[in-house]
Chains A and B, each alone.
Chain A
Amino acid sequence: MKQSLYLKTLIFLTVPLLISGFSFANGEELKCETIFKTKELKQAFSKSLNTESFPLWIDRRNNRYEVITLSTDGKNCNLDMKSIVAEGKYIPLSKLGYYDDIYIEGSNPYFQIYFPVYKTFISGKAVFNIEISPIAKEDSIISVKINNKIVKLLKLKEFGYIGKIEIPLQDFKNRKFVKISIEGDIKVGRTICDDINAKNIYIKINPYNSGFYVLKDTKERDIKTFFFDYSKSFYIDKLDIKSLKFFYYIPSATNWIKADVDILKDINIPKKIINSEDKGSFTQVEKLSKGFLLTTGNPDIVSNFILKSTLVSEINNSDVNQNQERLSKNVITLKELGISNLTLSGVGVLSFYIPFNTARLGGLPDKLQFNMFISNSAIDEHDRAFLEVFVNDSLVKSYQLKDISTERKGLIIDIPKSLLGAGLNNILVKVSYYPSSDRCIGATPNITVSLDNNSYFKWSETIKNVSKVRDFLNMVNGKVAVVVDGKPVLNSASYLLEILGKINPNISKLDIYSKLSELSPSQYDYIIMFLNNKTAQKVLNNRNVPLRVDNKGFSIFNIQTGKQLFRLGSNESIGFMEVIDYEGKTTLVVSYINSPDMLKGIKLFNPVNINSLLGNLVLFNSNDYSIYNIGDYINIEYVSEKGLFYYWNNYKVVIISILAGIVILFEIFVIRKLVKTKRKKQGR
C-alpha cells in the first residue's frame, strides 16, 4: 500500500514545461507589407540591409523591385517565388547556441564568432549590441575584425558605454567562412589589477538583439545549396518511412543553424519542400511558385549526401581533409572536433572552451585523456599566471605557468570518468594572468597563450550502455536502427528524430524499419523503437524493463529486483519513453497506452528540455510530462527501521516526563536521606 502511494505521488509530480524560445512553422496566415520599391537591384539590396524588418523578400514586379516584409496591418503576402530574387534572414546569436548574455572579461576582452559564406550569400551585416564596463576610461578602444583585419575601431568617448556595432558583411569570394572578432583595449585607472581580479572590466553582448542580417539570392540551385544556406526551415511534403531520415539528417547536417524540419501543411510563403516519392533514381531541385522543391528518387542517396556534407559543412573544420583517416581508432584531435588553433592575449582570465560530445567518441569513455599542446609568452618573475583545466565546471588540474616552459609543451590531463556525462561535455582551459601591481600602472602587461588544435583526446574503451532517456539521446551514435511500427507513431518519430538531429549529429548510419520482425539488433549500436501498443506489449512484457503495458493500463517494475511496484489500470491515454535493453542493445522505446493520440505530447520536448529527462522512464500526455528513474537510483524506502530520532520525535513528551519524574524522585531521595541537619548521638 505504501509503495503504491509513494509512486502515485511520484507519478503525478509534474515537471514544469520548459518549452520556450522555439517556434515552428504551423501554416498560420502571414501578413505582409511592402516597405519600399526601387528600380535598381543593387539599391534594393543595400536598402534592404538598412532595414531591420527581417525576414524580407525582394520581389521583382513590373521591372521594379519591391521589398516586402512581415507587417502588422493584416495584408496578405501573396508571394510568388518565381518573382522573388532575394530573401533576407535574420539569425540572432540566440539561434546559434548563445542563450545567456555573453560576458568577455579583462582589459583585453576578446570574442569571436564564425559566419559561413554559402553560395547563396549576397551580402549581410553583423550587429552586436554591446555594453561596456562603466569603469572603462573614455580613451578605451573597441576593435572589430573580420578575418583578423580591423574593420571598425571605436573609441569609447564617441561610442558610449552602451551601443550597437554594425559590420557590413560583403565581398567574401572563395571563402567558406569568415571569422568575426570583437576585441577591447579597456583602460581604467591605477586600480586596473584589482578591477581585473574583481571582474569589473568587461564587455557584454546581448545574444537576442545581436546576430546576422543576411541577404541571399533565390536562384535555382543544386542540392547542396538547397540544404546549406541560411534557411532554418525545411518541409517534407509527405511523411512516410522513407522521408523519415530527413528529419534526422537535415538538422544534424546544418549545424551552424539547427534547421527545423516539418511536414508541409499549407503554403502561404515560399518554402523549401522535399518530395521523397520514389521516382526512379532522379534527384533534382526546382523552383516553384511557393518555394523550392527537392524531388528525390531515393531518399537514401540524399541522406547519404547530407551525411557526407556534414564534414565540410562544419565551419570551423573547413581545413580538414575529409578523406583523411584518423591517426588511431581511439584518438580524436581538436581539429577533428572542429576547433581551430586558439590564441588569446590579455590579462586576467583568458578562457578556451572545448566542447566535445561523448557520442563522437563512440560512447562514454572509460579512461579519457586530454593531451593538450599549449604555449605561452614569457612571464615576469613578479607576475602570477596559472593554467587551470576544468571539466564540466570541476577543476581537474592546475599549473603555475612560471613552473613550466614557455615553449610549446604537451600536458596530459586525465579526465575522471565521474565528471563526464553522456553527450555534450565541456572542457575549459583557463589561463589566469595577474601582473604585479607595480608593473600595472595605467597600461597592463599582457600574456599570450596559444592552444594547438592538434591537441587530442585519447581513450581506451567506451561504454555504450546508458539508462536514462537524456543520456540515450545524447549518446546514440554509430549505426542506429529505427523501428516505426505503424502510421500512428510516424509523427512522433519524425519529431523526435528532428530533435535528435539538432542535439546529436553523431549517427553515421540510420536505418528505418516498419516491422520489428525485420530488425536484426546485432547489426546496430543502438535501436530506437516507435511502437504501437500491441507491439509494445510484445517487446516489453517478459523483459526486465521499468514499464510494461497491457490492454488496460501499465505496470511499473523495479528493474533491480524484478518486483512489480504497482499497476495502473486507466482509460486515460499516456505516451511514454523508456530505455531498455533489447537483445543486448540499448534501446529507446516510444509508445503509448490506450490511444496513440497522446503521442502528440512528444512535442512538449525540445532540444533544451530534452536534457532534463534524467530517468529511464518518461510519461507524457498532451500537457505534461514526468520523469522517473526506476530501480537504478530510486529505492523504495520502507520506514521499518526505527532509529533514535523516530523514538525521540514520537515519544518526546513521554521521555521528558520520565526523565523529569526520575529527577524529582531522585531529589526527594536526596533531601530525605542525604540532607541531615541534626547529628544523632552515638552510643554503644
Chain B
Amino acid sequence: MDNQIIYFEDFLLVEDILDVEQFDKVSEYRKENRLNYIEIITKIFKYTSYERLIEEISKFYKLKIISFSSNSPILRIPDNFLDVDSEVANKVDINDVMNMETFPIKFKDGELTLVSTVPYLMEALLIYKEIFRPKKIKYVWTDKRVFDELVKKVYDEQIREKTLEGISPRPEEETAYSVFSRTQALVFGLMLLTVVYGLYLNALKTLVITNLFIQILYVSFIGYKLFLSFFGELDTSGENVKNELKNLNNGELPFYTILVPVYKEKEVIQQLLRGLSKLDYPKDRMEILILLEEDDKETIESVEKTLKNPALKEYNFIPIVVPNYQPKTKPKACNYGLIFSRGKYLVIYDAEDIPEPNQLKLSVSAFKIFPEKYICFQAHLNYYNTSQNFLTKMFTLEYSYWFDYMLPGLSKFNLPIPLGGTSNHFRTEKLFELGGWDPYNTTEDADLGMRAYLNGYKIGVIDSTTYEEANSKIGNWIRQRSRWIKGYMQTWLVYMREPTKLIKNSGFKGFLSFNMLVGGTSFIFLVNPILWLIFIYWLITRTELIRPLFPPEVYYIALINLTLGNFLAIYLNLLPIFKRRLYTLLPYAFLNPVYWILHSIAAYKALWQLFTKPYYWEKTQHGLSKANNLEENLKLEENLQKA
C-alpha cells in the first residue's frame, strides 16, 4: 500500500483551496448534509469555481474526471461502461456508498479500483483499506451525475432490496407485506364463527349485542373527534415558528431535498416544475428529485423536454428513473429517491402541488425551534380548485378541518399523527433511521407517522399550506379515497398484529388514539351505509322487524349517533369555514351526509381490494382542474388566500 497518499481533505488545505476556517465550515456542513466536498465548496459556499477545483484535483492527483455532455437531463450510460466485479462492489452497503460517494469495482492482485466523485476521501479510504487491505488503489473519478447512474447499475439489487424491505433493516411484520398475521387471521375467523354460533343460539341477542358494540364504537369515535377538534383549535405553536423564520439567514440554510414522485402525469409536469421553482429557498441549496417510473415513457419524455428549458437550468432538478418492479407504489419510488437524496431535510410533494413559497424556510425554522425528537413537520394541505364543483368544495372543507383542527389536536396531546401524503418535511437522517416508507402500504404516510411515534419521535404541524388539485370527478375521487382507506386498514392491521406491544410502545393513550383515528375512520365508513339502510327501511316500512334490535340501551346510543353524530359532523365542518372565512362554502357543510355516501362506497371498494389486490396503487389522475395552467391556479391560490 502506498503510504504517500494525500487525503482529499489534506489536499484542500495543502493546496490552499481552503483556509482552515473555510475547511471547518465545509466539514461542518458536510456532517449535516450528504453533499460531497466539491459541491459544498463550489456550490454552497462558492469558495472557488467548480472548473478550477476540478482542474486542481486533476493536476494534484493526476486524474481525469469522467463526465458526459448530454443534451438529455437523464443520463443513459451503456451497461458495459465499466468492468465491475459485483461481488467486490457489494461488499459495501449502498447507504455507505452514497455517504462516501465512493464504491469499489475491482480488486485484483492487491489493486483496488474505486469509483468516486471525490478521490482520496479520507473517510472512504479508511473503510476500504479495512475491508480489502489493498496494496494499491486506483481511482475512477466521475462527476456526481455519472456516479449516481453507475451506482444505480452496480447496486441495483441492493437498491431494490432496500426500497422493499426498508432503507434500514425492519422486521417483516412491521410492513403491510402480509395483510394479516397468522394470529390475526385466526382471531378474526374465530370472532366471525362466534357471531355465527351466537346467531344459532340466540339470533336476536347476538344481533343486539353486535349492534350495541357498533353503536358504542361509533359514539366513541364521534366523541374523540370532537375532543381533538376542540383542543386542536387552541394550538398556537405556529406563531413561534413564524418569528424564527424572520431570523433565518440564507447563508446558513441547510441543503433541502424535494422528492416528487410522478406517474403518468405528463399533463401536470410543467406545472409542477414551475410551481416548485417559485419556492423561496436558495436554488443552490436544494435538489428536486423527480421520481419517474421506468414504464412511464410519456412522463419521462415530458420531463426531459421540460428540463431542457434554459430557464430551469439554475434549479437542481434531478430526474431519477425508478426501475420497473413490483409493487409499483409511491412509497417504493420515494424509498428509491431517498437513497439518492442528500439534503438535511426532505420533503415530498405531489405532482400538482403548489406549496406556499416560504414553506421550506418555515420548516427549517420549525426544526430549529422544536426539540430534536420532532422529526417531521406536516404542512397544511388545501385546494386551489375549491370552487370547481361540489366534490372539490367538500374536499376543501374536509381538508381544512383536518389540518386546522385535527392535526393540531393530535400534535398537542402528543398522539400519533397519520401524515398527509405530501408536504411532509423530514429530518432525512431520521427518515433513514426509521427505514423509509413501507412500499406495500397504500397510505405509507399514515404508517410512517405511526412508526415515528412508536420510536419516540414527534410530528409537528407548520402553518403553511400546500395547494393541491382537489379531485373533481367522482370516479377519480373514489379511486383515490379507496386507496387511502385501504392504506388505513393496512396500517391498522400492521400495528394491531401485537396489541400488547403497541400499548407498551405507544402507551394506552396512543393505542386508543390510533384505534380511534386509523381503525375508526374505516369502521365508520363501512358501518354508515348499514345503519342508514336500516333507518331508511324502518322509516319507509315502519317494520316491527327492526324494533327488537334496538332495546332502550341501544336505541338511545343510536339516537345520539343519528342526531348528535350528524350535527357534530356538520358542525365540525363549519369550524374551518369561519376560521378561513370561506363563507361561500357554508351551505356545503350541510351536505356532508352526501359526501359520506361517497366515502362509504370508497370504503367498500377498499375492503374488497384489501383482500384481492392489497398493494395495488389506485392512481389518482391529476390535471382535471378547470384551471389547467399554472397562472390560473396561482391566481386561484391568490384569491383563496385573500379570502
Contact B189 A667 (CB under 8 A): yes
**Interchain CB contact under 8 A, A677 and B178:** yes
Asked if A173 lies at the interface with its beta carbon under 8 angstroms from chain B, I say no
Cβ contact of A684, chosen from B164, B172, B186, B325, cutoff 8 A: B325
A215 → B minimal CB distance (Å): 66
Beyond known contacts A671-B182, A683-B160, A683-B325: 8 more, CB 8 A cutoff: A644-B545, A663-B196, A667-B189, A670-B611, A671-B186, A674-B614, A682-B164, A684-B323
Instruction: Determine whether B179 belongs to the interface, using a CB cutoff of 8 Å to chain A.
Output: yes
User: In the docked arrangement, what's the CA distance between A682 and B328, Å?
Assistant: 11
Q: 7 A-B pairs, CB-CB below 8 angstroms?
A: A648-B203, A663-B196, A669-B611, A673-B611, A674-B614, A682-B325, A684-B323
- Select which of A656, A674, A684 is within 8 A of B196 by beta carbon: A656
A642 at the interface (CB under 8 A from B): no
Known: A644-B545, A660-B196. Contact between A675 and B189, CB under 8 A? Answer: no
Q: Is A659 an interface residue (CB 8 A)?
A: yes
Contact B189 A670 (CB under 8 A): yes
B23 within 8 A of A: no
On chain A, the residues within 8 Å of B177 by CB distance are: 676, 679
> Inside 8 A of B172's CB, which chain A residues have their CB?
677, 679
B164 in contact with A656 (CB, 8 Å): no
Question: Is A675 a contact partner of B180 (Cβ separation < 8 A)?
Answer: yes
Measured CB to CB, the nearest residue on chain B to A655 is B199
Q: Is B559 an interface residue (CB 8 A)?
A: no
> Is A137 interfacial (CB-CB < 8 Å)?
no
- Verify if A652 is at the interface (C-beta below 8 Å from B): yes
**Contact assessment for B196 and A659 in the assembled complex, using a CB-CB cutoff below 8 Å:** yes
B530, CB-defined interface residue at 8 Å: no
Contacts of A673 in B (CB 8 A): 611
What residues of chain B have their CB less than 8 Å away from a CB belonging to chain A? 156, 160-161, 164-165, 172, 177-182, 185-186, 188-189, 192-193, 196-197, 199-200, 203, 323-326, 545, 611, 614
- What 9 pairs across the A-B complex have the smallest Cβ distances? A667-B189, A674-B179, A676-B178, A656-B200, A663-B192, A682-B325, A659-B196, A670-B185, A660-B196
Do the beta carbons of A679 and B545 come within 8 Å of each other? no
Contact A663 B179 (CB under 8 A): no
Kindly identify which residue among B180, B192, B325 contacts A674, using a CB–CB cutoff of 8 Å. Answer: B180
Is B199 a contact of A659 with CB atoms below 8 Å?
A: yes
Pairwise interchain contact B323-A674, C-beta atoms closer than 8 A = no
Q: How far apart are the CA atoms of A18 and B614 in the complex, in Å? A: 77
- Bound complex: CA A673 to CA B182 (Å): 11
CA distance A671 to B323 in the complex (A): 31
Q: How distant is A466 from chain B, measured CB to nearest CB, in Å?
A: 33
Query: Is A675 touching B193 in the complex (CB atoms < 8 A)?
Result: no
State which residues 477-501 of A face B: CB under 8 Å. Answer: none
**When the two chains form their complex, are residues A679 and B179 in contact, meaning their CB atoms are under 8 A apart?**
no
A656 touching B199 in the complex, CB below 8 Å, given contacts A667-B189, A670-B185, A674-B185? yes
CA distance A295 to B188 in the complex (A): 98
Shortest beta-carbon distance, B140 to chain A, in Å? Answer: 25
A663, B193: Cβ atoms under 8 Å?
Answer: yes
Instruction: Tell whether A652 pairs with B179 under 8 Å between CB atoms, given A683-B325, A684-B325.
Output: no
CB distance from A644 to the nearest CB of B (A): 6
User: Distance (Å) between the CB of B11 and the closest chain A CB?
Assistant: 40
For the complex, what is the distance from the CA of A669 to the CA of B180, rounded to whole Å?
11
Best-surrounded residue of A663, A671, A682 (most CB of chain B within 10 A): A682
**Inter-chain contacts of B196 with A (CB < 8 A):** 656, 659-660, 663
CB contact under 8 A between A675 and B199, given known A682-B164, A682-B326, A684-B325: no
CB distance from B456 to the nearest CB of A (A): 27
| A674 and B178 contacting across the interface, CB-CB below 8 Å | yes
In the bound complex, CA of A653 to CA of B189 (Å): 20
- Asked whether B160 lies within 8 Å of A682 as measured between CB atoms, the reply is yes
* Chain B contact residues: helix, strand, loop or mixed: helix
In the complex the two chains form, what is the Cα distance from A644 to B537 in whole Å?
15
Residues of A within 8 A of B181 (CB): 675
A433-457 vs B, CB cutoff 8 Å, 1 = contact: the mask equals 0000000000000000000000000
Contacts of B323 in A (CB 8 A): 684
| Contact residues in B for A681 (Cβ distance below 8 Å) | 161
Residues in B with CB closer than 8 Å to A679 are 164-165, 172, 177
Complex Cα–Cα for A652 and B200 (A): 7
The smallest beta-carbon distance between A216 and chain B, in angstroms, is 64
Determine the residue in chain B with the shortest Cβ distance to A676: B178
Q: Are B199 and A674 in contact (CB under 8 A)?
A: no
What CA separation (Å) do A675 and B611 show in the bound complex? Answer: 11
Residues of A close to B160: CB separation below 8 A: 682-683
Q: Which of chain B's residues have a CB closer than 8 A to the CB of A664?
A: 189, 193
B200 → chain A closest CB, angstroms: 4
Distance in Å from the Cβ of A567 to the closest Cβ of chain B? Answer: 37
Contact present for A675 and B179 (CB under 8 Å): yes
List A contacts of B185 (CB < 8 A): 667, 670-671, 674-675
Residues of A within 8 A of B188 (CB): 667, 670
**Most chain A CB inside 10 Å of its own CB: which residue of B189, B196, B325, B326:** B196
Shortest CB distance A375–B (Å): 46
A670 touches B180 (CB 8 A): yes
Nearest-Cβ distance from residue B201 to partner chain A, whole angstroms: 10
- Measured between beta carbons, the chain A residues less than 8 angstroms from B611 are 669-670, 673-674
Chain A residue with the shortest CB-CB distance to B192: A663
Query: How far does the alpha carbon of A529 sit from the alpha carbon of B293 in the complex, in Å?
Result: 102
Contact A675 B182 (CB under 8 A): yes
Specify which chain B residues have a CB less than 8 angstroms from the CB of A684 in the assembled complex: 156, 323-325
Residues of A within 8 A of B186 (CB): 667, 671
**Chain B residues positioned under 8 Å from A656 (CB to CB):** 196, 199-200
- In the complex, chain A residues whose CB is within 8 Å of the CB of B161: 681-682
> Which residues in B have their C-beta under 8 angstroms from that of A683?
160, 325
User: Given the complex, which residues of A lie within 8 Å of B203, measured CB to CB?
Assistant: 648
Give the CA-CA distance A652 to B545 in the complex, in Å.
17
Q: How far is the CA of A684 from the CA of B160 in the complex (A)?
A: 10
Residue of B nearest to A683 (CB): B325
Q: How far is the CB of B157 from chain A (nearest CB, A)?
A: 8
Assembled-state Cα–Cα distance A391/B192 (Å): 56
A414 CB, nearest partner CB in chain B, Å: 29
Residues of A within 8 A of B197 (CB): 660
The interface residues of chain B lying within 8 Å CB-to-CB of A671 are 182, 185-186
Known: A670-B611, A682-B160. A660 touches B193 (CB 8 A): yes
Within 8 A of B (CB), among A266-290: none
Chain B residues with CB under 8 A of A644: 545
Specify the chain A residue showing the minimal Cβ separation from B191. A663
By a CB distance below 8 angstroms, the chain A residues around B199 are 656, 659
- Chain B positions within 8 Å of A676 at CB level: 177-179
- In the bound complex, residues from chain B placing their C-beta under 8 Å from that of A675 are 178-182, 185
Contacts of A669 in B (CB 8 A): 611
Bound form: Cα–Cα A214–B164 in Å: 114
Measured CA separation A466–B199 after assembly (Å): 50
Q: How far is the CB of A651 from chain B (nearest CB, A)?
A: 12
Nearest-neighbour CB distance to chain A for B178, whole angstroms, equals 4
Assembly CA distance A557 to B433 (angstroms): 90
Which of chain A's residues have a CB closer than 8 A to the CB of B164? 679, 682
Q: How far does the alpha carbon of A679 sit from the alpha carbon of B615 in the complex, in Å?
A: 14
With the chains together, A606 CA to B326 CA distance in Å? 94
Q: Which residue of chain B lies nearest to A644 when distances are taken between CB atoms in the complex?
A: B545
> Which chain B residue has the least Cβ–Cβ distance from A648?
B203
Task: Give the CA-CA distance A335 to B419 in the complex, in Å.
Answer: 88
Contacts of A674 in B (CB 8 A): 178-180, 185, 611, 614
A679-B172, A682-B326 in contact; A663/B182 too (CB < 8 A)? no
Q: Which residue of B lies closest to A645 (CB)?
A: B545
Tell me which of B185, B186, B614 has the highest count of chain A C-beta atoms within 10 A of its own C-beta: B185
Measured in the bound complex, the distance between the Cα atoms of B344 and A173 in whole Å is: 125
Return the chain A residue nearest B190 by Cβ.
Answer: A667
Distance in angstroms from A679 CB to nearest chain B CB is 6
When chains A and B are docked, how far (Å) is the Cα of A659 from the Cα of B199?
10
A677–B177 Cα distance when bound, in Å, is 9
Q: Which of A509-538 contact B (CB under 8 A)?
A: none
Please name the residue on chain B nearest to A643 by beta carbon: B545
Complex contact A663–B178 (CB within 8 A): no
